[in-house]
Structure 1
């Protein structure tokens, strides 16, 4: 844990605690100074107690060793990831502006989160995919120093959240610009490698996104069947990891799955669940995107002779 003393000092200063206030009843001031100067490595017990004093888990901040403001930076990073899930573009723009004012903005992982925010906004909000592509490619080269085709063809996997995030954005870029084969290759690659890390907490949200994209392709583009177990596993994983904001999309996939199997009553049942779950999410932008993209013939086959408005 090289540099953990530097992290502890930064958190203490950010929390506006003196050395004596931070270490009271935990260790001596002299020992605290030695910890903060990286002359002594604190025991797990001391780290735990200091974390309780700081009201956080110090181990959650190990990626931010060397940051001037690790607590604020991590809060902004976590908030950024959650805001991207809701596709609240204005909120993400405001959040990105805050992040760009930090002294730590050029350090990893904050710099990658900032680039990711810009890529997200350019792909989904500003509709400038070529600018997004350039930033994605530059970031991937910085992380692994090899091109995208090599990564996909060699099943190259790095246990890094931002590496996988940028690969996912590359899939979205190819899909939105009509490069279907390249998009398919990257999506298949992501499907394969993320199964290795789905139980790693940092990949949970990304894993759900990839599985949703993968199953959407197979259900609505290839019209394939026999995805019931995969969909049940996805739903169970979302419930287990409290990712309820996208459950409506899984219900939609289940509806499409049963529609392909000509089980119209089951398809109708899950379509109703999709509507109910989508209407209950706090930010409905992503749900509205789904509604706007629905195939009218699919809806009419499930609800014959009815307009879509009746569903609401």
Structure 2
């Protein structure tokens, strides 16, 4: 556990202060050459895939989008837009992470999370709701935070970033009475959000580090986490219906990279079957990306002088 804690501590520091890029730089042409056959094979078997990659190890690093450029049902990946908005409101002094919040029984929804198992009413804080929204993808926590922050405030952040496809229009498990359009993402907008969050220009260092810490402690291990357990990755999963996604940061020193893998299984309408087919595709792409980055080696230490 001490080793894991040490790795996490180092990774939080890398999140906004990447190491000097390795002379053997992160060449996205090489990486896309590795990933593209996996995308093509998935498509040949009825799985629509989008992959986004961005080199974060140097200013103005390269970015690439592979596969489908169409939109997806985002499932829980959309929660990252709410998370960034929340932390921007914290930076502006409009919200305190330590503010008390009471979750009433009528606020509880199903799906992923742990709040539905708490005794109600459940007294907590904004900080704990945000942590659970990321670490266990808690849907109830997400909805409470969405009420707290406001959908228009989330949209304002997306507009500020120039994102055209990503929309957080409705709560998780909205029910039949909600008529707002469905939520949406695509690989390009998701990659842009990850890059902006990482950059240190959208949020304060404290808020960016807090996001890193929560994402590094991701407990949903059915996608990247199934094959990269214990590795320096900070990520957020999403799954519903026939889609399964994982997105985040591969914090290989000197080769820090934002990674987006979105999939839609078109051969079934069964959730369980879609996860059985789609999760290994997400895993294989994530593993291929990580192995390539790790194989490039670590940056040489700076010369004394």
Q: Which has more strand, going by share of residues?
A: 2
TM-score w.r.t. the length of structure 2 is: 0.23
Q: Which has the larger radius of gyration?
A: 1
Q: Is the helix fraction higher in 1 or 2?
A: 1
Q: Which has the higher contact order (CA 8 A, sep 6+)?
A: 2
